Structure 1
Amino acid sequence: MKLTSEVEMAFREKMLWASAAATVVIWGWYFLGFVRALEAPSFNVGGEIGKFLFAVVALVVVQVVAAIALAISSPADAQAPADDRDREFALLAYRAAFVTLSVLIATLTVVAPMTMATAPAWLGGRPGSLAPIVISNALLLSLVIAELVRSATQLFLYRRGS
């Protein structure tokens, strides 16, 4: 019985690693490109929306392919329900992610009006419509960070073996 739990943990842990890696790579690519687009002389809104949609679709595809590959490699473990330990780890991880997201959103709520007020200075003559786009991407980044905190917390708990 203990061996099954360890194998199941390994499967869930592999899924977490795959998800976290895909999140870092895909959203890292997106946000790096977004910063570069902001630094460019002109900002192509349509192009950035396309990159955002590509990132969302890519993340879904990569995670589905990873889940299928891991499920094929160990089908019994993929079908096994989460045990009490898995549920406890997930709950603790969601709490950490919720606190992180709450703090980031509260911070952005305070910073957003300042961002709008200072936009003419940091936009350097570019359209003021970029400020809400920056704020929207900051909100998206908050969500991505919270997801990474969730994954990291859960992986830490699995590694610690509590």
Structure 2
Amino acid sequence: MLRPVLLCLLILVGHAAKASPVSSALPDAELRGEATLRFLGFPLYKARLFTPSGAPLDWSKDFALELTYLRDLTAYDLVEGTMREFERTGGTLPVRAQLNRCFFDVRKGDRYTAVANGPNQLTFWRNDTRTCTLSHPQITARFMGIFLGDNTRSRRFTSLLRSDG
């Protein structure tokens, strides 16, 4: 009887010990806001913003954005969608090759987490496995601005995510 109980405890401790990308990269980060992006009424992904101590978003401080996909998408879809948003929000960036190394196909329930490392680097995790670090001048503002900036596709989504009201 003791052996099954010990086995269960070991499994639980193992799961608890595995830190999320947010807690390991930004130890003081707390959930600031969350929102679901929909297209023509269909949910695409649920986003969660993590900031230092859950404070309002401050672009000069590192923060994290987690997307949980609510439908299947290919890596091509993710890269092309990102490149289109870069063009729409301020012009193309020469980061396609880096994005191709960062993004993989996603299935419903998969998560991507992007963590800012200053203004010029973002580190990406897919389902808690690090995939890459994207480096380019001002990449944090440009990439995160797709979701959190002043020119997003959905002001309501951005407002909920940033918990602006």
Question: Could you state the TM-score of these two structures normalised by the residue count of structure 2?
Answer: 0.25
Higher-Rg structure is 1
Q: Which has the higher strand share?
A: 2
* Higher RCO (CA-CA < 8 Å; seq separation 6+): 1
